[in-house]
């Protein structure tokens, strides 16, 4: 049985966040909607002490490499559509 694990790592800037609390509110909302809509797992994995920077990891698992890639691209589009964040960079890995 083949199993594909996809990882999307996204570097974000949250320009309007003036405190860590404001940043966490934006990220919490984004993560909850991302997980609910696309059935992925997501978490902040870096930038915990910076109130305007964050690294978000989004993960999916499938038995198809193509499906794994499609889900990660949908997650990327979803994150980029969030008006409160600016995507600085992203990487996609399929393991």
Per-residue model confidence (pLDDT) at position 41:
98
Q: Which string of DSSP letters, residue by residue, matches 19-61?
A: SHHHHHHHHHHHHHHHHHHH--EEEEEE-TT-SSEEEEEEEEE
Q: Which CATH architecture has domain 4-94?
A: 2-Layer Sandwich (3.30)
Per-residue model confidence (pLDDT) at position 87:
98
- Domain extents for the chain? 4-94
pTM for the whole structure: 0.93
Q: What is the pLDDT of residues 58-77, one digit of tens each?
A: 999 999 999 999 999 999 99
- Decide if pLDDT at 30 tops 90: yes
């Amino acid at each position: 049985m083949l199993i594909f694990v996809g990882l999307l790592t996204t570097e974000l800037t949250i320009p309007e966040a003036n405190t860590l609390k404001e940043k966490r509110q934006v990220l919490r909302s984004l993560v909850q909607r991302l997980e609910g809509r696309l059935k992925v797992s997501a978490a902040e994995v870096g930038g915990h002490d910076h109130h305007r920077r964050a690294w978000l990891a989004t993960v999916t698992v499938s038995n198809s490499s193509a499906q794994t890639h499609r889900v990660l691209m949908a997650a990327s589009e979803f994150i980029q559509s969030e008006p409160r964040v600016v995507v600085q960079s992203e990487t996609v890995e399929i393991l």
